[in-house]
Amino acid sequence: MTVPRRRAIGAEIVDGGVHFRVWAPAQESVSVVIDGNATALEKEPRGYFSGVVKGGAGTRYKFRLEDGDYPDPASRYQPDGPHGESVVVDPGAYEWRAEPPRIDDPIISEIHIGTFTPEGTFAAAIEKLPLLADAGINVLEIMPVNEFAGTFGWGYDGVDLWAPARLYGEPDDFRRFVDAAHGHGLAVILDVVYNHFGPDGCYVSKYTPLYFTKKYDNEWGDAINFDEESVCEFFAENAAYWIDELRLDGLRVDATQSMLPNDVIADITRGARAAADRPIYITAENEPQDRRLVKELGIDALWNDDWHHSAQVALTGFREAYYHDYLGRPQEFVSMARLGFLYQGQWYAWQKQPRGTPSRDFEPRQLICYLQNHDQIANSARGERIDRLTSPAKLKAMTALLLLSPNTPLLFQGQEFAASAPFLYFADHGAELAELVAKGRREFLEEFPSIDTFIAPHDPETFRRCKLDWSERDSHKDAVDFHRELIRLRRTMPKSKPEGAVLGEHSFLLRWFADPDRLLIIHLGEGELVLDPKPEPLLAPPAQCEWQTEWTCGSATLFTARARRPASSSADAADRKDRDRAS
- Residue 572: partners with Cβ closer than 8 Å, 6 or more residues away: 565, 566
Tell me the C-alpha distance between 394 and 213, whole Å: 47
CATH class of 10-87: mainly beta
pLDDT tens readout for residues 235-282:
999 999 999 999 999 999 999 999 999 999 999 999 999 999 999 999
| Higher pLDDT among residues 567 and 423, named by residue | 423
Phi then psi for residue 301, to 5 deg, are -155, 145
CB 96 within 8 A of CB 63: no
Sign of CA dihedral 469, 470, 475, 478: positive
Ordered by start, the domain boundaries in the chain are 10-87, 108-192+230-306+330-343+364-490, 307-329+344-362, 499-582
Q: Which of the listed CATH numbers 3.20.20.80, 3.40.30.10, 3.30.1050.10, 3.40.50.880 matches domain 108-192+230-306+330-343+364-490?
A: 3.20.20.80
Tell me the C-alpha distance between 490 and 107, whole Å: 10
pLDDT tens readout for residues 480-519:
999 999 999 999 999 999 999 999 999 999 999 999 999 9
Mean pLDDT value of segment 427-455: 93
- Checking if the pLDDT of 581 tops 70, the result is no
Q: Which CA distances in Å does 139 have to 115, 268, 277, 418?
A: 18, 21, 18, 19
- Checking if the pLDDT of 574 tops 60, the result is no
The pLDDT assigned to 462 comes to 98
Sign of CA dihedral 428, 433, 436, 440: negative
In the chain, the percentage of residues whose pLDDT exceeds 70 is 97
Listed in order, strand segments (DSSP E) in 262-417 are: 281-284, 301-303, 347-348, 353-354, 367-370, 408-412
DSSP states of 131-183 = HHHHHT--EEEEPP-EE-SSS-B-STT-SEEEEE-GGG--HHHHHHHHHHHHH
CB 30 within 8 A of CB 214: no
The pLDDT assigned to 568 comes to 62
pLDDT tens readout for residues 47-104:
999 999 999 999 999 999 999 999 999 999 999 999 999 999 999 999 999 999 999 9
Mean pLDDT value of segment 397-420: 98
Mean pLDDT value of segment 391-410: 98
Catalytic positions are 254, 285
